[in-house]
A and B are shown apart, each in its own frame.
Chain A
């Protein structure tokens, strides 16, 4: 896991992902990148547009779920693909958590972007946030 931003783990039927970061914010950013890597080749997404995303969650797990779901809905509804993620400070708010991020990418173009697998949903199955040897690890499963 040393220099990797994320990796795909073994899971029957679906995408089981571990994303890493020096900070929780960085791990969340890499989780976003990993999800778009399931859908397409993120190297082909140019940072032509910028969006702001704000989500809340009653705990860090719910925050991770809601962050990924917000990104998935951006694709599903507006066909936007992102390759650069900047999760700013994750803050405590009203007993829960608040995340603010800016994301960069472009609108999906069938001729330019690779069509891999559609993501049906971000599941809570085996979702986990941990810290090992000073690094943050977030794990989650996408239903494909």
Chain B
């Protein structure tokens, strides 16, 4: 927390879960701000700059409808984390801060046909092997060293590069947002610093809030939809992977923040916070940033695909069955830090917009052309990871999300305690012990990270999912609870 709050920002109650910041709050606001939240989560947002930042984002040239903050919203840099902003593709701007440092940070969920009783007896072995097989933690390097020219292929082809290189099944690509590849990616727009930083890290989990979890289905809320996603019964085992584009994406963001800083002066854009730095979508700066960002997205999809492959290999070894026999299909892979060119209906007119999702998950409805064919009649699977040791959620996208949030919902729990405060309050070993008492095993490279990521440092993810369901921007399908966590 910066110590500054948003308590002074005027809010108009639209209904029990929708709040609006009027444009009269700040003279430069082009649209109102909108907070999707219940009263309890709203109180937490008032304690830091979340709501103020929501109002600041409303200043972006070309922004449509509202600057949106989702129920998991918390203070970020310029943009709040847990937010959506859609700008006109002809007359609006793109802002790297609206995507974030970890470009295409995202989650994927892999199903199995195993049950809790199959996994419990071998859980320590399974976690140890996953921890040893999948590089994680400080300075983690991929096991396979790609060359710089191979990296360009990864950046151009995304998940397809990984599948062709033997890391997965052809059907995996269909179950990723964008089929795991942004076609506008151009590695020539990526600096050599980003490439040199990124290539040794391909195929690694990283650290901080990134993790790989073994989950059990705890409760199914919609049997028909769950079944279509491959979630068949309570007690079924799943694997959740949460990571992004590693140093490759971090550096691309850093490089282009410098470019955008200059662009703000060049194009004389008036902003209330320099970290909203942006450039017109029809400028040279944006035309360089977007293909570079897409390259980082592709890196992240390849990265999660490689981790999926090693996860399947570990399950094969532990259960002495093929991954096919264990029915380890990818349910879905979604990005939650990304900017996308999409079509949305605004005041009855179809418009091409740039949707910034900063800590927000796409939640497209049934019959949308970008939903994989196998889910087309049901809607897009939405995966919301909780914090370490708490539940995670599977939801389904909805028509209401197209009206209210440019087809988006929340992305996680959202912090309530700073890392420094969490470390003061919790000991890593105590957090680990407490989780073990609940039957959750943890294998982590760092006890410091375990204390920083303590479950109590986060908002209640169940409440976040509930608010999403209540508003109707994504509906509850199933809740998962962790059995084992591996962290960097």
Contacts and interface: CB of A to CB of B under 8 A. Distances in A.
Partners in one complex: yes
Interface of A: 8-16, 39-40, 69, 73, 75-77, 79, 108, 110, 113-118, 120-126, 141, 143-144
Interface in B1-54: 1-3, 48
A33 to B, nearest CB: 16
B129 interface: no
B333 interface: no
B208 A15 contact: no
Interface in B430-486: 445-446, 448-449, 452
B1 A77 contact: no
A141 B419 CA distance: 12
A121 B254 CA distance: 7
B139 A108 contact: yes
B105 to A, nearest CB: 10
B198 to A, nearest CB: 9
Q: Name A's interface SS.
A: loop
A117 B250 contact: no
Contacts of A12: 1-2, 48, 74-75, 415, 418
A13 B207 contact: no
B245 to A, nearest CB: 10
Interface string B407-422: 0000000010011110
B420 A15 contact: yes
A55 B253 CA distance: 20
B275 A143 contact: no
Please classify how large the interface on chain B is, using the bins under 10, 10 to 19, 20 to 34, 35 or more: 35 or more
B301 interface: no
Which of A12, A110, A120, A141 is the most central at the interface, judged by chain B CB atoms within 10 Å of its CB?
Answer: A12
A58 B253 CA distance: 20
B81 interface: yes
Given A117-B448, A118-B488, 13 more contacts: A12-B1, A12-B2, A14-B418, A40-B138, A79-B139, A108-B138, A108-B139, A113-B138, A116-B207, A118-B139, A122-B254, A124-B274, A143-B101
B74 A13 contact: yes
A10 B420 contact: yes
Contacts of B207: 115-118
B180 interface: no
Nearest to B250: A120
B77 A116 contact: no
29 contacts: A9-B420, A10-B3, A11-B2, A12-B2, A12-B418, A13-B75, A13-B419, A14-B419, A69-B254, A75-B139, A77-B196, A77-B197, A77-B200, A110-B139, A113-B138, A114-B446, A115-B137, A115-B138, A116-B207, A116-B446, A116-B448, A116-B449, A117-B208, A118-B140, A118-B488, A120-B250, A121-B250, A144-B208, A144-B419
